[in-house]
Chains A and B, each alone.
Chain A
């Protein structure tokens, strides 16, 4: 199990390709570069690709191809040199209205970290985050990694409702809630950019492999950008 890459079965119509033990920049680059190559190799046999932290789930049509053929294609894809510009993903900037009003866990997180609120906001903005995975809910992008000093465990009791646009931290991950949902992450602000709009093309501003930076905005800009102030539980 220690050798990477390696491939495991994932049912009658899927193989999962593991690229590394941990999620890191190098593994993320490898995955981002591999996705279009795998897509081309499988062609019409491809059903879906699900990239995540250190793996890619490759779903194929079992009545069109089989695991021998798909494994061989994956091996060929691994041996194909990647184009440099496919590795980094695009850089997306997301505006955030950080405040105690828009981020109900901001002051507690600062207190627990032994930092001033402003320092938490600065540290969150300083990072350039990688989109490691999308899942949990449509448009929910897992971004990593936040500075160790502002990493914080999930709430012991999740909120029944986290509003759309909530900017959150859990351990060393950060995310923007794409829609209202239950959630246990620490909320530090609100982002006015829709993370998932079924009627937009593309429906999401980011995809796996992209990079994200956050930029602080004030309440007025937040409202002007279409944001809505929410009440929190």
Chain B
């Protein structure tokens, strides 16, 4: 009862929703940078939201079924081939024992998700199966998938096979405006620096990974001499001495000592994490109340989508 990795791709990681409550040990949260696509992938095959699936960065993953199973692929759009035949995304389908599932390269965006009915049966570490390569924690052995790995399957929770209606398939924005909740040392950036930051366009550099996205553009600086390291939450925008902002994501260090302007809304962290180096982004300030309203609206939207999923013959 397993899937065999016949090609691992650039970076394919086993993960559940993330590792929470372990920052006091220095362990980061990990988990999907696109939680919506991750959750949908699980729901389409009848899994609970927190079931272990695979995040595939830039495609290239190939799996061979050792047993019949029901699979879904979501996230960044890419060609999906089942034994050479085109297979749809955002829709559950059956993979028979011996058949191969191949993910091509996404035309745009970066991260796709592969879920299997019953999930991957991986032993959690510190309460989570999420792989964090920097820590060597989670997944099969703390590492990304390797060609030849056997991924054991769990017991199906529900035998659902569902599809997301075509119009509901999310589009990833090409040049996202990242909504930022001012916070942390925001008040210690001068009015001029803040204005420059929100008025400028920033380019994603090559140093962009699950830990953080380093941007290039108008430099900004806080009026702070030295700072003590402090806890870092998702989406924090820190500004090191060179003045170039870094947006910190799921695999961020748990503490750090650079001044921070605030945090990008989680929904926009996803948009950012789906962008490639070279992409231009900008920032817009929102209040905490707006942020919470957006999260509640998003929850309602997601709930409606989940209720509208269509059963498919699988």
**B-contacting residues of A (Cβ < 8 Å)?**
1, 8-14, 16, 22-23, 46-57, 59, 62-63, 66-67, 133-140, 142, 179, 196, 198, 203-204, 207-208
Interface mask (B210-240 → A, CB under 8 Å = 1, otherwise 0): 0000000000000000001111111110000
Q: List 8 A-B contacts (CB under 8 A).
A: A11-B262, A11-B264, A11-B266, A63-B299, A133-B229, A135-B256, A137-B134, A204-B25
Judge if B139 is at the interface, Cβ distance under 8 Å.
no
Q: By the criterion CB–CB under 8 Å, are B228 and A54 in contact?
A: yes
Contacts of A66 in B (CB 8 A): 288, 292
Q: By the criterion CB–CB under 8 Å, are B24 and A207 in contact?
A: yes
Report how far A8 CA is from B253 CA in the complex, Å: 20
Q: A8-B183, A63-B299, A67-B288 are in contact. Are A48 and B22 (CB under 8 A)?
A: yes
Q: Which of A22, A51, A57 contacts B232 (CB 8 A)?
A: A57
Residue in B closest to A179 when the chains form the complex, CB atoms:
B136
Most buried by B among A12, A14, A62, A134: A12
Closest Cβ of chain B: how far from A107's Cβ, in Å?
30
Q: A23-B228, A139-B26 are in contact. Are A198 and B292 (CB under 8 A)?
A: no
Contacts of A135 in B (CB 8 A): 23, 26, 229, 253-256
Closest Cβ of chain A: how far from B20's Cβ, in Å?
5
Contacts of A67 in B (CB 8 A): 288, 292
Contacts of B40 in A (CB 8 A): none
Q: By the criterion CB–CB under 8 Å, are A11 and B235 in contact?
A: yes
Q: By the criterion CB–CB under 8 Å, are A13 and B135 in contact?
A: no
Q: Which of A23, A48, A53 contacts B20 (CB 8 A)?
A: A48
**A-contacting residues of B (Cβ < 8 Å)?**
20-27, 125-126, 134-137, 181-188, 228-236, 253-256, 262-266, 288, 291-292, 295-296, 299
Residue in A closest to B269 when the chains form the complex, CB atoms:
A11
Contacts of A136 in B (CB 8 A): 26, 253, 255
Closest Cβ of chain B: how far from A70's Cβ, in Å?
11
Top 4 closest pairs, chain A to chain B, by CB: A57-B231, A50-B231, A11-B263, A9-B183
Q: A12-B288, A47-B21 are in contact. Are A137 and B135 (CB under 8 A)?
A: yes
Contacts of A49 in B (CB 8 A): 23-24
Contacts of B181 in A (CB 8 A): 9, 11-12
Q: By the criterion CB–CB under 8 Å, are B183 and A10 in contact?
A: yes
Secondary structure of the A contact surface, majority rule: loop
Report how far A14 CA is from B262 CA in the complex, Å: 11
Report how far A47 CA is from B18 CA in the complex, Å: 11
Q: By the criterion CB–CB under 8 Å, are A138 and B21 in contact?
A: no
Report how far A34 CA is from B116 CA in the complex, Å: 43
Contacts of B21 in A (CB 8 A): 46-48
Q: By the criterion CB–CB under 8 Å, are A9 and B125 in contact?
A: no
Q: Which of B20, B26, B187 contacts A1 (CB 8 A)?
A: B187
Contacts of A52 in B (CB 8 A): 228-231, 255
Q: Which of A22, A63, A142 contacts B296 (CB 8 A)?
A: A63
Contacts of B188 in A (CB 8 A): 1
Q: By the criterion CB–CB under 8 Å, are B24 and A57 in contact?
A: no
Closest Cβ of chain B: how far from A178's Cβ, in Å?
8
Contacts of B299 in A (CB 8 A): 63
Report how far A52 CA is from B295 CA in the complex, Å: 28
Closest Cβ of chain B: how far from A83's Cβ, in Å?
19
Q: By the criterion CB–CB under 8 Å, are B230 and A137 in contact?
A: no
Q: A9-B181, A55-B228, A133-B255 are in contact. Are A48 and B23 (CB under 8 A)?
A: yes
Q: A11-B263, A12-B292 are in contact. Are A47 and B229 (CB under 8 A)?
A: no
Most buried by A among B20, B27, B185, B263: B27
Q: By the criterion CB–CB under 8 Å, are B230 and A55 in contact?
A: yes
Q: By the criterion CB–CB under 8 Å, are B25 and A138 in contact?
A: yes
Report how far A52 CA is from B299 CA in the complex, Å: 32
